[in-house]
Chain A
Amino acid sequence: MIAEKELIEALRQKNPAAFKAIVEEWQHIVYNTILSIVQSREDAQELAQDVFVVVYQEGGNFKGESKFSTWLYRIAVNKSLEHLRRQKRKKRFVFVQSLLGNGNEVKQDPPEFVHPGTLLQNKEAAIILAKAVRQLPEKQRIAFTLHKLEGMSQNEIAAVLQISEESVSSLIYRAKNNLKQLLQLYFEK
């Protein structure tokens, strides 16, 4: 594991060997975080690459005021959010096109997402939860996912999202309540 000071220096100098070590050390964490948020392997792969391009390009600006992992998570979360917003815009555009009769029919829901790390006995429940999480507002979705899937503490999430711990606590609380309501509706139908 590379020490933080060495890491900052290596990033500033754009040292290729150090950069390769950083990618190899962090790639699976970045990839899995993005995968949990965007729920698509192909998109997660591409976005994780984008994250490391940003790390390489902006590494010189990293002053070490926060932990490197926090900075990396922040970039990963921002990239994921950008992607989700792009997807929403695309969906809206396709919907308007279908109303005008210009485009194809509105695309169906994305395929069922099963996180590769899910235990077999939890598979069915995890798919239902993934569907419900997709319907949460984006901040609640991020906070809940980081808390549940990444096992991050509220303090760490607060640092990544640059909000207070109370706000994180509130986001997770509201996310759980919303999920309960969504799942209730799901089983009542």
Chain B
Amino acid sequence: MKKKRGSKNSPKIEEILQSWDAVERAHQPDAFFYTKVQRQIIASEKYSVWQGVALFFSKPVIAFGFVVLLVMINISVAWKIGSDHSLTDAAKESEIEVPATDAGVSIHSFYDTNNY
């Protein structure tokens, strides 16, 4: 132990030994104590995959969030398929009508006139 300054005025040894006598169990663990215990129990238990999944979805908020996520994914996939479809259509249309060059001569007519 470190040296204490002014030890001449310090309380006597007997007084120190009695200083723990009047101690009360005044302090409480924090308000979330039971929740923390529950979490530890869940973490320490071994669940099967399906038990784990069931436990995961047993919370309404998580289940609702997951449904919302599924709907969002569904909408975005549908949107993507729709936009891909319209692009394909446009590509097909462009193949039917071959555009002319700036000079107004198509590539085919250029080759024809130059005897290639």
Contact = CB atoms under 8 A, between A and B. Distances in A.
B113 interface: no
Contact of A23 (B24, B25, B34): B34
Interface residues of A, number: 46
B19 A28 contact: no
B23 A20 contact: no
Given A23-B37, A186-B1, A28 B29 contact: yes
Contacts of B17: 129, 176, 179-180, 183
Interface in A64-107: none
Contacts, number: 107
A179 B14 CA distance: 10
Contacts of A182: 1
Interface residues of B, number: 29
Secondary structure class of chain A's binding surface, majority of residues: helix
Interface of A: 20, 23-24, 27-29, 31-32, 35-36, 41, 44-45, 48-50, 52-53, 56-57, 115-119, 122, 124-126, 128-129, 131-132, 135, 148-149, 176, 179-180, 182-187, 189
Interface of B: 1, 3-4, 7, 10-11, 13, 15-17, 19-30, 33-34, 36-37, 40-41, 44
